Structure 1
Amino acid sequence: MKKNIFYSLLILLLIPAVGCAKKSTTPVVGEVKASAYTPDIPILKGLATNAILRVNIFIPSDNTTQSFSGINFSINTSAINDIDNITLYQTSAEPFSTNTPLANSKPTSANFNVPITLKLAPGLHFIWLSVTLKNDASIDGNVELRATELMQSNGKKLTISQPAGNYAKLKGVAVRKAGDDNVNTYRIPGIVATNKGTLLSVYDIRYKNSADLPGNIDVGLSRSTDSGKTWQPMKIIMDMGAPHENNGVGDPAILFDPITKKIWVAALWSKGNRSIAGSLPGISPDTTGQFVLVSSDDDGLTWTAPYTITPQIKNPKWHLFFNGPGSGIAMKDGKLVFAAQYWDEVKKPYSTIIYSADHGANWVGNLNGPKSNTTESQVVETTPGTLMLNMRDNRGSYRSIATTTNLGTTWTEHSTSYNALQDPVCMGSLIKANVKVKGVLKEVLFFSNPNTTNGRYDITIKVSLDLGQTWLPANQLLIDERNCYGYSSLTQIDAETIGILYEGTKDLYFVKIPVVSIIK
Structure 2
Amino acid sequence: MSARLRARLRSTLTAVLTAAALCVLALPSPARASATDASGASGASGASFEQQVLFRASQDPGYACFRIPAVVRSTHGTLLAFAEGRVHDCGDAGDIDIVVKRSTDGGRTWGPLQVVNEGAGDTHGNPAPIVDRETGRIVLAETYNTGRTDGRGCDVPCDRTPHLQYSDDDGLSWSAPRDLSAEILPPNWNSWYATGPVHGIQLTRGRHAGRLVFGVNTETWNGSRVTANNAALITSDDGGDHWRIGASDSWPIAQDGTFRQKPSELTLTERADGSVLVSGREQDGTDLGHRTQTVSRDGGDSFTAPFRDLPGLYAPQVQGSVLRLGDRVLLACPGDPDRRRTMMIRSSYDGGRTWDSVDRGTVVTTDWSGYSDLVGIGGGAVGLLYEGGAVDARDEVRFARFTEDWLTPRRGPDPTTDDLARHAEPAA
Same topology, TM > 0.5: yes
Is 1:249 the counterpart of 2:124? The answer is yes
> Where does residue 427 of structure 1 map in the other structure?
319
Q: What residue in structure 2 maps to residue 323 of structure 1?
A: 195
Length, aligned pairs only: 359
Structure 2 equivalent of residue 266 of structure 1: 141
Equivalence for 1:444: 328
Quickly say closer, same or farther: Cα 1:131–1:259, change in 2 above 3 A. closer
Equivalents in 2 of 1:349, 1:370: separation in Å? 6
Counterpart CA distance in 2 for 1:443 and 1:272 is 43
Partners in 2 of 1:229 and 1:482 — Cα distance?
A: 22
Q: Can you list the C-alpha shifts for 1:310-358, whole angstroms capped at 9, x where unaligned?
A: 1111111222433120110001211000111111235332222101011
Which of 333, 338, 342 is equivalent to 1:454?
Answer: 338
What is the CA deviation profile of residues 145-173 of structure 1, one whole-angstrom value per residue up to 9, with x for unaligned ones? xxxxxxxxxxxxxxxxxxxxxxxx94211
- Pick aligned residue for 2:387 from 503, 510, 520: 503
Secondary structure of the corresponding residue to residue 516 of structure 1: helix
* Structure 1 Cα separation of the partners of residues 62 and 131 of structure 2: 30
Q: CA RMSD in A?
A: 3.3
Which one has the largest radius of gyration? Answer: 1
Cα distance in structure 2, aligned partners of 1:217 and 1:366: 29
Question: Partner of 1:358 in structure 2?
Answer: 238
Tell me: CA distance 1:267–1:171, structure 2 relative to 1, closer, same or farther (3 Å). same
AA matched with 1:341: N
User: Match for 2:185: what amino acid?
Assistant: K
Rounded to whole Å, the distance in 2 between the matches of 1:40 and 1:458 is: 12
Query: Is contact 1:315-1:366 (8 Å) kept?
Result: no
The code of the aligned residue for 1:224 comes to S
Counterpart in 1 of 2:249? 369
1:388–1:403 Cα contact (<8 Å) kept = yes
Distance change (3 Å), C-alpha of 1:139 and 1:463 = farther
When residues 356 and 313 of structure 1 are mapped into structure 2, their CA distance, relative to the original with a 3 A threshold, is same
Change over 3 Å in CA distance of 1:266–1:75 after alignment to 2: closer
Which ranges in structure 2 are unaligned for 5 or more consecutive residues?
1-10, 16-20, 252-260, 389-393, 410-428
> Does the 8 A contact of 1:201 with 1:221 survive in 2?
yes
1:201 aligns with 2:201: no
AA of the residue aligned to 2:98: V
Bigger mean CA offset, 471-480 vs 231-240: 471-480
CA distance in 1, matches of 2:76, 2:244: 29
- Structure with more relative contact order (C-alpha pairs < 8 Å, separation 6 or more): 2
CA distance in 2, matches of 1:189, 1:331: 22
Instruction: Find the counterpart in structure 1 of residue 54 from structure 2.
Output: 175
Unaligned runs of 5+ in 1: 7-36, 42-51, 54-73, 84-95, 97-129, 143-168, 281-286, 434-441
2:353 corresponds to 1:469: yes
* Higher-strand-fraction structure: 1
Report if the CA contact (8 A) 2:95-2:147 is conserved: no
Q: Tell me the equivalent position of 2:70.
A: 190
1:412 to 305, 309, 319: 305
- TM-score w.r.t. length of structure 1: 0.63
Once the two structures are TM-superposed, the CA of residue 518 in structure 1 deviates from its matched residue by: 1.3
Provide the rounded CA distance (Å) in 1 between the counterparts of 2:383 and 2:44. Answer: 11
Q: Deviations over 1:47-68 (max 9, x none)?
A: xxxxx99xxxxxxxxxxxxxxx
**TM-score, normalised relative to structure 2:** 0.75
| 1:157 alignment partner in structure 2 | none
Contact 1:140 1:512 in 2 (8 A): no
Equivalent pair of 1:139/1:229 in contact (CA under 8 Å): no
* Contact 2:91-2:153 within 8 A present in 1 as well: no
Partners in 2 of 1:39 and 1:470 — Cα distance? Answer: 23
Give, in angstroms, the shift of residue 253 of structure 1: 1.4
